[in-house]
């Protein structure tokens, strides 16, 4: 009898996630009848310990708000996850739980498809786990950046038009505007955007957030997080299947 293998996504209020359909369709396409993907909506990260006791679980994805909180529950971190300080993929092999970061891989793939020579400075909106992966990739490609968050010196109340004019790469890393709160939007000086700006919102549901709609009104090039999500999911699959 073929061993059942369970994979899944842990997060909070994540019924909207694309992951279950994505991996279920993938397993069907590859005729992998023993593999199942589930959504695990947790109230508290400590609940993850119960999952780790289940020998059928071979891999997990991790999303908001647990990308940093899950680290103490793991045995090892990949070099990349260690440097980033956030985990969105866990592989379980021979009882060892190893945290990885495939957000960085997905973001890099997205960025390099659209990056132009004149995208020289970036503003990162948000300071959570996804933002950490973005910072890692910007450093790798020598792109200077500033972080705008509620708890940083530069925040949504004091962000000036000049900062936006001088930073023609904007990456929105907060969950503001995610389904079902689609009308929500960060406070941002959109009228400082131009056709030279590349605005990436890591949200993928809805396809077009209010933030991207507002940015497009000022002719900025806009991208959502769907391609990044696909790429990080494929990287997670590769990690789960590696020896």
Query: How, if at all, do strands 96-100 and 76-77 pair?
Result: parallel
Phi, psi of 45 (to 5 degrees): -65, -25
Say whether 67 is catalytic: yes
Active-site residue, selected from the candidate residues 20, 35, 58, 67: 67
For residue 170, the number of C-alpha atoms closer than 13 Å in the C-beta half-sphere is 33
CB-count burial class (<10 Å; 0-12, 13-18, 19+) for 20: middle
Following DSSP, what letter does each residue of 75-122 receive, concatenated? SEE-HHHHHHT--SEEEEETTEEEEE--HHHHHHHHHHHH--TT---E
Q: CA 62 to CA 20: how far, in whole Å?
A: 13
Residue 170, classed as helix, strand or coil, is strand
Q: Are 84 and 139 in contact (CB under 8 A)?
A: no
Just list the catalytic residues: 67
């Amino acid at each position: 009898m073929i061993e059942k293998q369970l994979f899944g996504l842990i997060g909070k209020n994540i019924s909207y996630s694309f992951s279950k359909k994505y991996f279920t369709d993938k397993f069907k396409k590859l005729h992998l009848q023993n593999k199942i993907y589930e959504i695990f909506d947790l109230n508290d990260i400590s609940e993850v310990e119960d999952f780790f006791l289940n020998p059928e679980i071979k891999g997990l994805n991790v999303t908001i708000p647990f990308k940093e909180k899950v680290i103490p529950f793991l045995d090892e971190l990949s070099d990349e996850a260690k440097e980033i300080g956030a985990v969105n993929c866990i592989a379980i092999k021979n009882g060892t739980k190893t945290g990885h970061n495939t957000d960085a891989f997905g973001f890099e793939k997205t960025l390099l498809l659209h990056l132009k020579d004149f995208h020289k400075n970036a503003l990162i909106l948000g300071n959570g786990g996804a933002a950490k992966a973005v910072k890692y990739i910007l450093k790798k490609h020598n792109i200077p950046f500033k972080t705008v968050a509620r708890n940083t010196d530069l925040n949504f109340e004091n962000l000036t038009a000049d900062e936006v004019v001088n930073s023609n790469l904007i990456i929105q890393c907060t969950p503001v505007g995610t389904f079902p709160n689609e009308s929500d939007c960060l406070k941002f000086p959109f009228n400082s955007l131009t056709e030279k700006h590349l605005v990436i919102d890591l949200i993928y549901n809805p396809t077009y957030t209010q933030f991207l709609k507002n940015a497009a009104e000022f002719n900025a090039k806009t991208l959502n997080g769907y391609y990044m999500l696909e790429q990080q999911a494929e990287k997670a699959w590769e990690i789960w299947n590696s020896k």
